[in-house]
Structure 1
Amino acid sequence: MRVRTTSAVAGASALLLLTGCGAADMTRQASPFANARGAKTVTLSVQSWVGAQANVSVARYLLEHELGYRVDTVQVDEVPAWDALSQGRVDAILEDWGHPDQEKRYVQDKRTIAPGGDLGVTGHIGWYVPTYFAKRHPDVTDWKNLDKYADQMRTPESGGKGQLLDGSPSYVTNDKALVTNLKLDYQVVFAGSEAAQITQMKQFAKERKPFLTYWYSPQWLFEKIPMTEVKLPAYEEGCDADAAKVACAYPHTPLKKYLNADFAKTGGKAAAFLKNFKWTTEDQNEVSLMIANDKLTPQEAARKWADRHRSTWRSWLPS
């Protein structure tokens, strides 16, 4: 089960072709290139986190430079992206963290979306503390001991409780329910976005302060700020079925790709390439690090990765 973004963006943004990290909001608006029969064009959905940008930047680079396609890239939140994909407003989603309701509706029942295979990366969400703090206080990695450190995790924003730092308020997480159901002396505080959350974590790390944060793997920041996961009650199938009663850890989720069903049949070499696209966590993090930390454009990062890993991506090209 993927638990990040589900809220639709209110209002339709003007359509913009992706340059650098910009993208159009496709919640309500169609791309002129999506589902364009007979044309060598592809429209890829890109989510807001940098790992998703890494997938799309490499796919786009290779589609354009190796297969001669025109690629349009548009930004859509996770659940609205399924609607856009079903309607042919985008052709592919390259990183889905598990939406069983959407899969049943569009893949099994309506058959307007086709599975595109595994991305090759396993995603996991959890609670983390900086490793420098875990080394000094090893018992903090058991959730039962978190209250012992709540005073040290307190911030002006957490209202006298320990702070559990989350990202965007639009990310759907189990954290508020977990804090309540595990009876923890913590307050969930939203940074506002992935970028804002990273900024706060970097500042804490610079000052060697303790912090507790919602975070996820794969993510390039682990290379810059080593973090240790806090063990929550073990995940079991169905333990998160009732959002209000969740009292277990997040699952490990093999990330999937999905294609518009018509595009999967008629998309030719582009569709075949996207089905073949499969890389590792290390590959994704390498590109993500170049985009987010080294400040390369997605296109520059994709080119550098492609130059270094020809043996990997050549197998993705259709014969």
Structure 2
Amino acid sequence: MRLKRRTALTAAAAALALLTGCGAADMTRQASPFANARGSRTVTLSVQSWVGAQADVAVAQYLLEHELGYRVDTVQVDEVPAWDALSQGRVDAILEDWGHPEQEKRYVDDKGTIARGGELGVTGHIGWFVPTYLARQHPDITDWRNLDKYASLFRTPESGGKGQLMDGSPSYVTNDKALVRNLKLDYQVVFAGSEAAQITQIRQFAKERKPFLTYWYSPQWLFEKVPMTEVRLPPYREGCDADAAKVACAYPHTPLRKYLNADFARSGGKAAAFLKKFRWTTEDQNDVSLMIADQKLTPAEAAKKWVDGHESTWRQWLP
């Protein structure tokens, strides 16, 4: 995610951790040997570590395999290394990018090794959130200027006497440490370790009706299970986050985009044409994400269930 975001145990929890990239190492160098092979009927897709991106890949993979006759390999790669893998042809496509202008300029505009694949149809937004039950109890807590007033509510053993701002994976590109420093807030950013671990902590806090302040993002299925209210940060203005060290504004709303290896975009046949046309809604993505992360369906099972109920949507993507 840009996850300035979007960018997560029992056997069941371990399965969820696998699905959401819990503790996953960068798998860039384990890409399929078929990636970008001319004439191949195999497509290799980059899988980001958050479940929304996994939902994208699950549905694309299902349709490529069952409707177009391709074999699909998937490779988990962290956000920025995924651009290197895509440029070098170790993967053929990224289906959900949250905005990496430096990589886009380098690989799309300057080198020409990556091609734009169009919008996903989903708009992403990152922000700071508190549980809605806390916002109803303290309505002014949703203004960042009042956060220090409530810092004691958010103290944890990990936050060193300050309020805790919970983040997810350290691999996600976030502005949070700079925001805390530049807004002069009495808070400490504490990383849960992954999206899956962050979800576990949020659900435990909510079960006990405890206060929490967390970095979170939409679209995300968890809002259906734990209602959360966004804290208003200083308004976003174009360029206000250009200097990562000086940023003191909210995160933008970002149309999520797809990118293809440039050779694959030219010679990938029906697979490339399909991926360029793949476009769905926030509701669609959340439906599949919920099935994977909460209902414990495998990605393939969730994809099949969605595909079975949305033929009028996906038929438009087929070349």
TM range (shorter): over 0.9
1:35 aligns with 2:28: no
Q: How many residues align?
A: 305
1:165 aligns with 2:161: no
Q: Give SS of 2:31's match.
A: coil
Deviation at 1:111, TM superposition (A): 0.7
1:187 aligns with 2:185: no
Which portions of structure 1, spanning 4 or more consecutive aligned residues, are displaced by more than 4 angstroms? 22-25
Equivalent in the alignment of 1:239: 240
1:228 aligns with 2:229: yes
Equivalent in the alignment of 2:298: 297
Deviation at 1:30, TM superposition (A): 3.5
8 Å contact kept, 1:2–1:99: no
1:139 aligns with 2:134: no
Which 10-residue stretch deviates more, 55-64 or 28-37?
28-37
Q: Give SS of 1:121's match.
A: strand
Deviation at 1:260, TM superposition (A): 0.6
8 Å contact kept, 2:78–2:171: no
Equivalent in the alignment of 1:9: none
Provide closer, same or farther for how the CA distance between residues 106 and 286 of structure 1 changes in structure 2, counting only shifts above 3 A. Answer: same
Identity %: 85
Equivalent in the alignment of 1:17: none
Letter of the 2:120 counterpart: L
Rounded to whole Å, the distance in 1 between the matches of 2:243 and 2:121 is 29
8 Å contact kept, 1:58–1:302: yes
Deviation at 1:169, TM superposition (A): 1.8
Rounded to whole Å, the distance in 1 between the matches of 2:211 and 2:105 is 42
8 Å contact kept, 1:2–1:253: no
Alignment of 1:95-114 (within 5 A): 95-114=96-115
Equivalent in the alignment of 1:11: none
Equivalent in the alignment of 2:151: 150
Normalised TM-score (structure 2): 0.93
RMSD: 1.5
Provide closer, same or farther for how the CA distance between residues 5 and 140 of structure 1 changes in structure 2, counting only shifts above 3 A. Answer: closer
Could you list the runs of 5+ residues in structure 1 that have no partner in the other structure?
Answer: 7-19
Deviation at 1:24, TM superposition (A): 8.8
Equivalent in the alignment of 1:50: 51
Rounded to whole Å, the distance in 2 between the matches of 1:229 and 1:40 is 45
Deviation at 1:5, TM superposition (A): 8.3
Normalised TM-score (structure 1): 0.93
Deviation per CA, 1:72-92, whole angstroms, max 9, x where unpaired? 000011111111111111100
